[in-house]
Amino acid sequence: MNVLEQWQEDSGAEGDDDDIITEEEAMMAPKAKQRVEVQQVHQMAARDTRYLWCSQILVLFLMLGAAAIVSAGTYIFLQQEEDDDFDNSYDHFTNTIKDAAEFHVRNIWLTTRSMASTVSSQAQELGMEFPLVTIPGFEALGGAA
Protein backbone atom coordinates (compact mmCIF):
# COMPACT_ATOMS: atom_id res chain seq x y z
CA MET A 1 0.00 0.00 0.00
CA ASN A 2 1.47 3.34 -0.94
CA VAL A 3 1.56 6.49 1.16
CA LEU A 4 -1.32 8.17 -0.66
CA GLU A 5 -3.68 5.24 -0.16
CA GLN A 6 -2.69 4.98 3.47
CA TRP A 7 -3.29 8.70 3.95
CA GLN A 8 -6.71 8.41 2.30
CA GLU A 9 -7.66 5.46 4.54
CA ASP A 10 -6.43 7.22 7.65
CA SER A 11 -8.35 10.35 6.84
CA GLY A 12 -11.52 8.42 6.02
CA ALA A 13 -11.34 6.06 9.02
CA GLU A 14 -11.47 8.81 11.54
CA GLY A 15 -14.62 10.72 12.29
CA ASP A 16 -16.19 13.66 10.53
CA ASP A 17 -14.22 16.05 12.67
CA ASP A 18 -10.99 14.86 11.14
CA ASP A 19 -12.17 15.50 7.58
CA ILE A 20 -10.68 18.91 7.84
CA ILE A 21 -7.23 18.80 6.28
CA THR A 22 -4.64 21.16 7.50
CA GLU A 23 -2.61 23.17 5.05
CA GLU A 24 0.50 21.13 5.87
CA GLU A 25 -1.34 17.86 5.20
CA ALA A 26 -2.68 19.25 1.92
CA MET A 27 0.87 20.06 0.84
CA MET A 28 2.16 16.62 1.86
CA ALA A 29 -0.43 14.67 -0.14
CA PRO A 30 0.65 15.90 -3.59
CA LYS A 31 4.30 15.48 -2.67
CA ALA A 32 3.72 11.89 -1.54
CA LYS A 33 1.68 11.21 -4.66
CA GLN A 34 4.40 12.75 -6.76
CA ARG A 35 7.07 10.62 -5.06
CA VAL A 36 5.04 7.48 -5.71
CA GLU A 37 4.56 8.45 -9.34
CA VAL A 38 8.27 9.19 -9.71
CA GLN A 39 9.09 5.77 -8.23
CA GLN A 40 6.65 4.11 -10.61
CA VAL A 41 8.17 5.97 -13.55
CA HIS A 42 11.65 4.87 -12.45
CA GLN A 43 10.46 1.27 -12.16
CA MET A 44 8.85 1.40 -15.61
CA ALA A 45 11.98 2.99 -17.06
CA ALA A 46 14.17 0.29 -15.50
CA ARG A 47 11.87 -2.46 -16.83
CA ASP A 48 11.77 -0.89 -20.29
CA THR A 49 15.55 -0.52 -20.24
CA ARG A 50 15.89 -4.25 -19.45
CA TYR A 51 13.48 -5.11 -22.28
CA LEU A 52 15.42 -2.85 -24.62
CA TRP A 53 18.74 -4.48 -23.71
CA CYS A 54 17.22 -7.95 -24.15
CA SER A 55 15.79 -7.04 -27.55
CA GLN A 56 19.11 -5.50 -28.64
CA ILE A 57 21.00 -8.62 -27.59
CA LEU A 58 18.42 -10.82 -29.35
CA VAL A 59 18.76 -8.77 -32.56
CA LEU A 60 22.55 -8.93 -32.28
CA PHE A 61 22.50 -12.74 -31.95
CA LEU A 62 20.02 -13.04 -34.82
CA MET A 63 22.25 -10.89 -37.03
CA LEU A 64 25.34 -12.90 -36.07
CA GLY A 65 23.47 -16.14 -36.73
CA ALA A 66 22.26 -14.93 -40.11
CA ALA A 67 25.76 -13.74 -41.02
CA ALA A 68 27.22 -17.11 -39.99
CA ILE A 69 24.63 -19.03 -42.02
CA VAL A 70 25.14 -16.85 -45.11
CA SER A 71 28.93 -17.09 -44.77
CA ALA A 72 28.86 -20.86 -44.38
CA GLY A 73 26.49 -21.25 -47.33
CA THR A 74 28.63 -19.01 -49.51
CA TYR A 75 31.77 -20.89 -48.51
CA ILE A 76 30.23 -24.27 -49.32
CA PHE A 77 28.82 -23.02 -52.63
CA LEU A 78 32.06 -21.34 -53.71
CA GLN A 79 34.17 -24.32 -52.62
CA GLN A 80 32.07 -26.58 -54.87
CA GLU A 81 32.31 -24.05 -57.71
CA GLU A 82 36.08 -23.84 -57.28
CA ASP A 83 36.39 -27.63 -57.36
CA ASP A 84 34.23 -27.78 -60.50
CA ASP A 85 36.28 -25.01 -62.15
CA PHE A 86 39.50 -26.85 -61.32
CA ASP A 87 38.15 -30.11 -62.74
CA ASN A 88 36.99 -28.36 -65.92
CA SER A 89 40.32 -26.54 -66.32
CA TYR A 90 42.23 -29.77 -65.74
CA ASP A 91 40.13 -31.60 -68.34
CA HIS A 92 40.57 -28.73 -70.81
CA PHE A 93 44.37 -28.59 -70.40
CA THR A 94 44.78 -32.38 -70.57
CA ASN A 95 42.70 -32.46 -73.76
CA THR A 96 44.81 -29.63 -75.20
CA ILE A 97 48.05 -31.46 -74.37
CA LYS A 98 46.65 -34.73 -75.74
CA ASP A 99 45.57 -33.03 -78.97
CA ALA A 100 48.97 -31.32 -79.35
CA ALA A 101 50.80 -34.62 -78.75
CA GLU A 102 48.57 -36.47 -81.24
CA PHE A 103 49.10 -33.69 -83.80
CA HIS A 104 52.88 -33.82 -83.30
CA VAL A 105 52.98 -37.62 -83.55
CA ARG A 106 50.83 -37.51 -86.69
CA ASN A 107 53.17 -34.92 -88.25
CA ILE A 108 56.22 -37.06 -87.41
CA TRP A 109 54.49 -40.13 -88.86
CA LEU A 110 53.50 -38.28 -92.05
CA THR A 111 57.00 -36.81 -92.45
CA THR A 112 58.58 -40.23 -91.90
CA ARG A 113 56.16 -41.79 -94.40
CA SER A 114 56.98 -39.05 -96.92
CA MET A 115 60.71 -39.63 -96.41
CA ALA A 116 60.23 -43.40 -96.77
CA SER A 117 58.30 -42.84 -100.01
CA THR A 118 61.07 -40.60 -101.31
CA VAL A 119 63.79 -43.11 -100.42
CA SER A 120 61.76 -46.01 -101.88
CA SER A 121 61.03 -44.20 -105.14
CA GLN A 122 64.70 -43.15 -105.46
CA ALA A 123 65.79 -46.75 -104.82
CA GLN A 124 63.40 -48.11 -107.47
CA GLU A 125 64.42 -45.47 -109.96
CA LEU A 126 68.14 -46.13 -109.57
CA GLY A 127 67.80 -49.90 -109.05
CA MET A 128 69.33 -49.88 -105.56
CA GLU A 129 68.45 -51.96 -102.53
CA PHE A 130 67.44 -50.29 -99.26
CA PRO A 131 70.47 -50.23 -97.05
CA LEU A 132 72.66 -48.99 -99.87
CA VAL A 133 70.38 -46.20 -101.17
CA THR A 134 71.92 -42.75 -101.45
CA ILE A 135 69.74 -39.76 -102.13
CA PRO A 136 70.99 -36.39 -103.32
CA GLY A 137 70.07 -33.70 -100.75
CA PHE A 138 69.51 -36.27 -97.97
CA GLU A 139 70.73 -33.82 -95.31
CA ALA A 140 68.05 -31.28 -96.26
CA LEU A 141 65.38 -33.97 -96.43
CA GLY A 142 66.45 -35.50 -93.09
CA GLY A 143 66.65 -32.06 -91.41
CA ALA A 144 63.09 -31.30 -92.46
CA ALA A 145 61.90 -34.50 -90.87
For 46-101, write each residue's pLDDT tens digit: 999 999 999 999 999 999 999 999 999 999 999 999 999 999 999 999 999 999 99
User: Is 0.85 surpassed by the pTM of this model?
Assistant: no
As a whole number of angstroms, the distance between CA 71 and CA 78 comes to: 10
For 23, the domain range is 3-144
DSSP state of 14: S
| CB proximity list for 3: less than 8 A, separation 6 or greater | 32, 33, 35, 36
Number of domains in the chain: 1
> Residue 46: what pLDDT?
92
> What are the backbone dihedrals phi and psi of residue 21, each rounded to the nearest 5 degrees, phi first?
-100, 130
- For residues 14-27, give the mean pLDDT: 56
Contact between residue 32 and residue 22 where contact means Cβ atoms under 8 Å apart: no
Q: Higher confidence at residue 127 or residue 61? A: 61
